[in-house]
Amino acid sequence: MSQKLLLSAKEIDIILHRLACQLIENHTHFKDTVLIGVQPRGTFLADRIRQILLNDYHLDTVDLGYLDITFYRDDFRRGEKPLAANSTDIDFVVEDKRVVFIDDVLYTGRSIRAALTAVQSFGRPSEIELLTLIDRRFSRHLPIQPNYRGRQVDAINQEKVKVHWKENEGEDAVYLVGK
Amino acid sequence: MSELSVNHLLGIKYLNKKDIDLIFETADHFKEVINRPIKKVPSLRDITIANLFFENSTRTRLSFELAEKRLSADVINFSAASSSVKKGETLIDTVNNILSMKVDMVVMRHPNPGAGVFLSKHVDASIVNAGDGAHEHPTQALLDSYSIRERLGEVAGKKVVIVGDILHSRVALSNIFALKLQGAEVKVCGPKTLIPKYIEKLGVEVETNLRKALEWCDIANMLRVQNERMEISYFPSTREYTQQFGVNKKLLDSLNKEIVIMHPGPINRGVEITSDVADSDQAIILDQVQNGVAVRMAVIYLLASKIKR
């Protein structure tokens, strides 16, 4: 199994700051904006972006929630393994809010499709945007595109893109893993 | 993620500790779901579930139906009172007729012990036992343990006394299996006539003095006297039963600690438990009902995830 480094810790740091700046451009004070990390892997990215917004760009408050999409997925009973649920933690109402979904890798688009359905359980947002660290283009099954993308990657279907986070895997890095 | 070791929920005695942990972890997520503004998830939208009730039920039936609807399953209901069972149709024929309408799962309550096991051997659908005679009522025991876990943190090491009509109670038997599996200590308490012989073989102790039982326990699960299942008199009068085995506020206040009171319902107020106890903060009776929906959602979700197309 081959493994190629796509992004180093330094590159990830630069990209996260750029993404945070792009969010500020569109959302200024984040008064009516909420960030939602998509479980399980989008939560690390969402935490980081929020930390950068608060610490480096001195925003007062940025609402952040986690959304679990397990019960909204379209592949229930189709895979080999049963789907394990994660916790949903949204302590605000998304009614009339500008929601930004945050996920680490955008691949087929099916997770985001599920998230679009799931978030409706918490109200009707005024708009929904998508921020993703890695955009695997040419592999989409649905017409879903990110509003903010860290890096576009052309990977064939047999390959996997793995995002490592310091708080979980001990390092910040993105790898392309071959068969 | 692990999956259940069984394809049907026929009784607690067929489950292992890991199954119970998995059901509780899944129920935690559903408990969060049912407290949202929109209490519904689309997971089971291609699953059809038949609720077959050959015996009366209010709580269990509504709880199952709600759990199924919260998971977006299609639901059909059947009660024996208004069906062809009265015309002499057998159980297997009734169920196979229903299954030929493409039903994936059957939730069944039946007056005969073992009806669920029997059915699971003869029909091609996932079976959930919603009470079979005086045998088992597994989802009730699961929601009872889940409620204990929620109130006291864990079930292991807790002391539970089950009070009342143990002889006719499927709730008692399922609870004994579930509590022992999770490492709780269990005593049963009631008139000797309503305690089955050899119940000690299940690893429980018998206590006929209610005060002693309550002083020992952390949780008291109060059962109803099932007059409808009694062909003979097991105790002299309801009044005498209440004096010996009924729990009232005065008795609870005289204990040296605060115990948790549970009741599977329906309550006979003033018989096994007085109103001031049933409505007090010590009682978690309504929590049990709410948790029942979450636990049943978890059971149905986990069983449905094993149905392959």
SS3 letters across chain A: CCEEEEECHHHHHHHHHHHHHHHHHHHCCCCCEEEEEECCCHHHHHHHHHHHHHHCCCCCCCEEEEECCHHHCCCCCCCCCCCCCCCCECCCCCCCCEEEEEEEEECCCHHHHHHHHHHHHHCCCCEEEEEEEEEECCCCCCCCCCCEEEEEECCCCCCEEEEECHHHHCCCEEEEECC
Confidence check: pLDDT of B9 > 80? yes
Position of tokens 């995830």? B305
One domain, residues B234 and B299: no
B144 and B254 fall within a common domain? yes
Omega before B266 within 30 of 0, i.e. cis: yes
Does B1 have pLDDT greater than 60?
no
Looking at the domain assignment, is residue B5 inside a domain?
no
B4 located within any domain: no
Cβ pair A88:B29 closer than 8 A: yes
State the CB neighbour count (10 A cutoff) for residue A142.
Answer: 12
Q: b/e map of B112-141 (b: 16 or more CB within 10 Å)?
A: ebebbbbbbeebebbbbbbbbbbbbbbbbb
Is B296 labelled a binding residue? no
Give the lowest-confidence range in A154-163, B58-67, B245-254, B290-299: A154-163
β partners of residue B188: B162, B206
**CATH number assigned to the domain comprising residue B93:** 3.40.50.1370
Q: Please report which helix (H) or strand (E) contains residue B200, including its range.
A: none
Mean pLDDT of the B91-114 span: 89
What are the structure tokens assigned to A76, written together? 């229930």
CA distance B18 to B2: 9
pLDDT per residue as tens digits for the range B194-245: 999 999 999 999 999 999 999 999 999 999 888 777 777 888 888 999 999 9
User: For residue A163, which phi and psi values (nearest 5 degrees)?
Assistant: -105, 125
Query: How many structural domains is chain B composed of?
Result: 2
Mutate to test the interface with A, among B34, B297, B305 (most CBs of A within 10 A): B305
Inter-chain CB proximity A72 and B41 less than 8 Å: yes
Which range among B58-62, B76-80, B96-100 has the greatest average pLDDT?
B58-62
- Is there a contact between B145 and B152 (Cβ–Cβ < 8 Å)? no
Distance of alpha carbon B135 from alpha carbon B10, whole angstroms: 10
Taking Cα atoms as reference points, which of B291, B286, B296 lies closest to residue B68?
Answer: B296
In-domain check, residue B258: yes
Specify whether B115 is located in the same domain as B205.
Answer: no
Residue range B277-289: mean pLDDT, rounded = 95
What is the DSSP code (8-state) at residue B135? T
B96, part of any domain: yes
CATH of domain A9-157: 3.40.50.2020
Residue B205 and residue B118 share a domain? no
Contact B263, B278 (CB under 8 A): yes
Which residue matches tokens 């590159």? Answer: A11
The beta-carbon neighbor of A122 closest among B29, B37, B43 is B37
Residue written as token pair 């057998």: B90
Do B120 and B179 have their domain in common? no
Spell out which residues of chain B touch residue A116, defining contact as CB-CB under 8 Å. none
Mean pLDDT for B105-132 is 93
**B73 closest CA partner among A119, A82, A77:** A77
Mean of pLDDT over chain B:
92
A151–chain B nearest CA distance, Å: 31
Residues B278 and B208 in one domain: yes
Q: Is B42 marked as a binding-site residue?
A: no
- Residues B25, B58 within the same domain: yes
Q: Element (H or E) spanning B109, and its range?
A: strand B105-110
Picking from A122, A148, A117, the residue whose alpha carbon sits closest to that of residue A135 is A148
The gap from C-alpha A153 to its chain's centroid, in whole angstroms, comes to: 15
Residues of B in contact with A72 (CB under 8 A): 41-43
- pTM (two decimals): 0.87
CA torsion sign for A147, A152, A155, A159 is negative
pLDDT bracket for residue B170 (50, 70, 90): very high
Amino acid found at A94:
V
Nearest-by-Cβ selection for A77 from B26, B29, B308: B308
Which residue ranges make up each domain of chain A? Answer: 9-157
Statement to judge: residues B227 and B259 lie in one domain: yes
For chain B, the residues whose C-beta falls within 8 A of a C-beta of chain A are 1-3, 26, 28-29, 32-33, 36-44, 71, 301-302, 304-309
Average confidence (pLDDT) over A116-140:
92
B6 domain-assigned: no
B142 and B284 in a single domain? The answer is: yes
Report yes or no: B190 and B207 within 8 Å, Cβ to Cβ: no
Query: Residue type at B291?
Result: N
List the single residue in A70, A78, A120 with the smallest CB-CB distance to B38: A120
In a domain, B169, yes or no: yes
Q: Which of A66, A68, A69, A71 to mutate against chain B (most B CBs within 10 Å)? A: A71
Element (H, E) at B70: helix B59-70
Asked if A77 lies within 8 A of B32 by C-beta distance, the reply is no
Closest Cα to residue B144, out of B268, B296, B14, B249? Answer: B296
Question: Taking CB atoms and an 8 Å limit, are B305 and A83 in contact across chains?
Answer: yes
Own/partner long-range contacts of B152-157 (Cβ < 8 Å, ≥24 apart): B152/B218, B152/B219, B152/B260, B155/B179, B155/B182, B155/B183, B155/B184, B156/B182, B156/B183, B156/B184, B157/B183, B157/B184, B157/B185
> Are B165 and B109 contained in the same domain?
no
For residues B23, B24, B30, B34, the Cα torsion angle rounded to the nearest 10 degrees is 130
Give the single-character DSSP code of B267.
-
Work out the minimum CA distance from B143 to partner chain A, whole angstroms. Answer: 20
- Strand-pairing partners, residue B203, are none
pLDDT surpassing 80 at residue B83: no
CB atoms within 10 A of CB A61: 11
Instruction: Count CA atoms within 13 Å of residue A158 on its CB side.
Output: 5
Tell whether B161 and B277 lie within a shared domain: yes
CB of A103 within 8 Å of any CB in chain B?
no
- Compute the distance between CA of residue B104 and CA of residue B126 in angstroms, rounded to an integer: 7
B31, part of any domain: yes
* Structural domain span for residue B208: 138-288
B229 known member of a binding site: no
Task: Dump pLDDT digits (tens) for B18-37.
Answer: 999 999 999 999 999 998 88
B281 in the same domain as B223: yes
| C-beta of residue A15 within 8 angstroms of C-beta of residue A153 | no
